[in-house]
Amino acid sequence: MPNKNEKTKSEKEKKKTKLDKKNNKTKNEKGNNKTKSEEELKIELDAKYSKYIKYVAIAIVVLVLITVIAVLNINRNKNINKDDGITKIVTSFYPMYIIAENLVDGASNVELTNMADVNVGCLHDYTLKTEDIKKVENADIFISNGLGMESFISKLIEANQDMDVIDSSAKIENPILDEDETNPHIWTSIDNYLKQVQTVAIELKRLDPGNEAIYEANRRAYIAKLNRLKNEFKNQLEYLKDDRAICLNEAFEYMGRDIGLQLTSIQTDHEESTMSAETLRNIIDMANTQDIKIIIIDKNDNRANAETIANETNAEIYALNSGLTGSLDKDAYINAMKENIEILKGVN
């Protein structure tokens, strides 16, 4: 960097050159050719000087651009691989873990952990544990279901502000509203699940570009499998379209909509399985009046209410798999949906 004196000096020189130029011009106009070689030398020097300034300016611009790009890149990847070269990915709960498991398979320097225990099931009314915060504290990426399923998300972000959060529900259209609350159990619709997988894959590729090719290959393979499952589901269960069903677990609202079932008496407290005697009576009356044949519950739900209804109506219980818990097999979601196809194929 030039010091102040040098700067002033060069500015003076510049002014002088300008003045000289002006003088020369006037002289030339007067037709005085006596000092021509001297003038030419000055013009030449002047041109060289401005050329030099141009090069310096270009160099400064290039340097500034390089610095800006580097800073942007650092910010974009936040703390990924910052400390130990490992990309630590934490999923909120089981369905997200199965998605991530399929996408990170074979990726290098990736560590995948599930925050909640596999047998926790739904994160409704979930209270964060000290271990949960610990798992998230060193995470680079957190994969959430979204739509309010992780009501505690702000506490996790507070614990680790450098962590990138992927919201798998970002591309979900037409979420179902239950009494002003969005039903977050979107993955029971294979269509929705496909969108969740796509969103997580796109974000993983962006946040961990070192493994981009693997994420992309895994995405393609998993999407292909899921599309086959979607067709099988549609073809086998098409005959249920427009059938009425009592739904005692709101997790199946999205699956029911995919099939075209007309769900009624949707219970939004699937974890408590409490129902007043009056509500039960009303459901039984309605089931008899409308000749409803199907009662849908989760295979892990308390069956008591469903059995009371079934005993007093022509309806039968279909205990489905909502994919909220199960084996850690990569194909766990696909197997759960195939299980549901088999169960629902039995509806007369």
Give contact residues for Zn ion (rule: CB under 5 A): 122, 124
The residue of the chain with the least Cβ separation from Zn ion equals 122
Alpha-carbon gap, residue 303 to 319, rounded angstroms: 9
CB 91 within 8 A of CB 135: no
CB 255 within 8 A of CB 339: no
Q: Which two tokens stand for residue 300?
A: 């892990």
Those residues with Cβ within 8 angstroms of residue 226's Cβ, 6 or more apart along the chain or in another chain: 190, 193, 194, 197, 334
**Closest distance of CB 78 from Zn ion, Å:** 31
End-to-end CA distance of the chain: 86
Of the two residues 124 and 299, which places its CB atom closer to Zn ion in the complex?
124
**Closest distance of CB 254 from Zn ion, Å:** 12
**Closest distance of CB 185 from Zn ion, Å:** 6
Task: For residue 214, give the amino acid letter.
Answer: I
Of the two residues 218 and 340, which places its CB atom closer to Zn ion in the complex?
340
Those residues with Cβ within 8 angstroms of residue 154's Cβ, 6 or more apart along the chain or in another chain: none
Of the two residues 122 and 186, which places its CB atom closer to Zn ion in the complex?
122
Of the two residues 122 and 332, which places its CB atom closer to Zn ion in the complex?
122
For residue 271, what are the CA distances in angstroms to 37, 120, 180, 283, 324?
97, 11, 19, 19, 12
**Closest distance of CB 183 from Zn ion, Å:** 9
**Closest distance of CB 169 from Zn ion, Å:** 14
Decide: helix, strand or coil at residue 144: strand
Of the two residues 122 and 156, which places its CB atom closer to Zn ion in the complex?
122
